[in-house]
Amino acid sequence: MPLDPANEDVVVFSRFLYRAESLANQIRERTGHRATAVGQPDPAILAAFETVIIDMDTFESALELIRAVIARRPEAKVVILGIEESEDAVVRLAEAGASGYATEITSLESLIEIVRSVQNSQFSCPPNITYALYSHLARISGADRAARRTPALTIREQRVLDLLSQSLTNKEIAASLCISEYTAKNHVHRILKKLGWTSRSLAASSGMNRRPASVLARRRWQAS
């Protein structure tokens, strides 16, 4: 059964050229597909093809090659051969831009099915891997939403916020940063407005868990 879409170009890379040639020949014979073998990890050459099959040398080198190919051709479908099927490995492959993968024990027939599925954007994983991917996407999405909700503070405002979270007064903040009390007051006002806080006590409560012991001791001493 031919791959879809018909006659889409495939390139097979392996540092062992005979392996790449053998797999490319099998793909041509079994699918009538155009398949080219290369023995050099040249992203420019690999990115000229619509489907890229990479016989993994080391995991880190595979990640680097995927990123380089996708940077040149974002729509390329990249399949990695020979990975250990773990949640961490698959998540990292997905982050790099891979569309699918095959383990060391994947048969040629199964590999053909994998290539077909990624070309049709239908690659499937075991349930635990799918869950890991969804969980990772949820974490990314949550971080993005939090970043959009939180206005950016300047470096100086971040420093003022750190001091504010230690319950320092405007005068103490000014002394610590060698600025005027008026300037410190303006910084505090802008920070509260950016973060949507109604009082500086909210900043103090946000920093309770990270307040230096020396500051806590000083506050207790002043209160006594």
The larger pLDDT score, comparing residue 116 to residue 219, is at 116
- Residue 214: pLDDT band by 50, 70, 90 thresholds? very low
Integer angstrom CA distances of residue 157 from 146, 153, 164, 197 = 19, 6, 10, 14
- Can you say whether the dihedral through the CA atoms of 108, 80, 127, 119 is positive or negative? negative
- Check residue 205 and give its pLDDT: 60
Residues with Cβ within 8 Å of 180's Cβ and at least 6 positions away in sequence, in order, are 174
Domains and CATH numbers, the chain: 10-131 (3.40.50.2300), 155-223 (1.10.10.10)
* Whether residue 54 has pLDDT greater than 90: yes
> In angstroms, rounded to a whole number, what is the distance separating the alpha carbons of residues 69 and 48?
9
- Measured distance CA(98)–CA(171) in Å, rounded: 55
pLDDT at 202 > cutoff 70: no
DSSP string, the chain: ---SSTT--EEEE-SSHHHHHHHHHHHHHHH---EEEE-S--HHHHTTSSEEEEE-SSHHHHHHHHHHHHHH-TT-EEEEEEE---HHHHHHHHHHT--EEEETT--HHHHHHHHHHHHTT-----HHHHHHHHHHHHHHHHHHHHHHHSPPPPHHHHHHHHHHTTT--HHHHHHHHT--HHHHHHHHHHHHHHHT-SSHHHHHHHTGGG--HHHHHHHHHHH-
Contacts of 196 (CB under 8 A, 6+ apart): none
Q: What is the mean pLDDT of the chain?
A: 81
Q: What is the pLDDT of residue 217?
A: 36
- Whether the Cβ atoms of residue 79 and residue 54 lie closer than 8 Å to each other: yes
Q: Would the pLDDT of 78 be above 60?
A: yes
Dump pLDDT digits (tens) for 22-38. Answer: 999 999 888 888 899 99
Mean pLDDT of 165-188: 90
Cα–Cα distance between 110 and 97 in angstroms, integer?
A: 21
Higher pLDDT, 131 or 220: 131
